[in-house]
Amino acid sequence: MQKGDDAQVPGGPGDHGEDPRVLRVAGGAGEGPRHVAAHQADRGGARPGRRAVSDYAQTLAKRPGTPAFRSLALRGRSGTGPVDPSWSAVRIGLYAEHLEAWRRYFPPAQMLFVSGEALVREPAAEVGRVQDFLGLAREVGEGNFYFNRTKGFPCLVKEGGGDGGRPHCLGKTKGRAHPEIHPRTLQTLRRFYAPHNRKFYRMTGHDFGWD
């Protein structure tokens, strides 16, 4: 299996063969299922509210003049109303809706759901689940990771590689500091996402503990 979002996998949108696929429930959530069906996806799901703030931080880094998070995430004048699900950073966390679309192309047995939080806390265990799901030998284990406290993410160390064992960490755009968001805004987001999260738990058979 090749790496990267542009790596082609056998079959296409209508392929319901036995080959397992790993579908993203975060970065690719806004992409149509036909696009996902034709490409390998490689990211797991993260707490929706945190994901929205992370996406906003990335936008803010690129466009410093971006309006305040609250005015984009909440409707009404100056962001005092209910959550606005049309904003892409909010919509991306509606995982149950995206999964419903993907189920038209993939049977449940071909799907594996990886927790973004667990991937940070216990990378070897989560990567082990992926290797098992894909029918691969467990070539990546505890000895291949170390935690980068600066970025707040684990880094990968290749054993016996031609790079002298140098660690491979996420790019400079990852692990950036998040802007301060008013607690009331975050609480509004949590309430908004709660029923969507519970539906997603029922669909996947796994409680990700986001509520």
What is the secondary structure of 185-204 as a DSSP string? HHHHHHHHHHHHHHHHHHHH
Helix (H) or strand (E) holding 62: helix 48-62
Cβ neighbour number for residue 25 with a 10 Å cutoff: 28
Tell me which amino acid residue 36 is. Answer: V
User: Which letter, b or e, does each residue of 26-42 get, where b requires 16 or more Cβ atoms within 10 Å of its Cβ?
Assistant: bbbbebebeebbbbbbb
> Is 172 one of the annotated binding-site residues?
no
3-state secondary structure of 81: coil
> What is the C-alpha to C-alpha distance for residues 99 and 182, in angstroms, rounded to an integer?
30
> Is 175 one of the annotated binding-site residues?
yes
> Is 35 one of the annotated binding-site residues?
no
> Is 29 one of the annotated binding-site residues?
no
> Is 26 one of the annotated binding-site residues?
no
CB 176 within 8 A of CB 57: yes
> Is 162 one of the annotated binding-site residues?
no
Residues 6+ apart with CB under 8 A from 161: none
> What is the C-alpha to C-alpha distance for residues 36 and 28, in angstroms, rounded to an integer?
7
Bridge partners (DSSP) listed for residue 168: 156
- Give the residue ranges of the annotated binding site: 54, 174-178
- Give the residue ranges of the annotated binding site for 3'-phosphoadenylyl sulfate: 54, 174-178
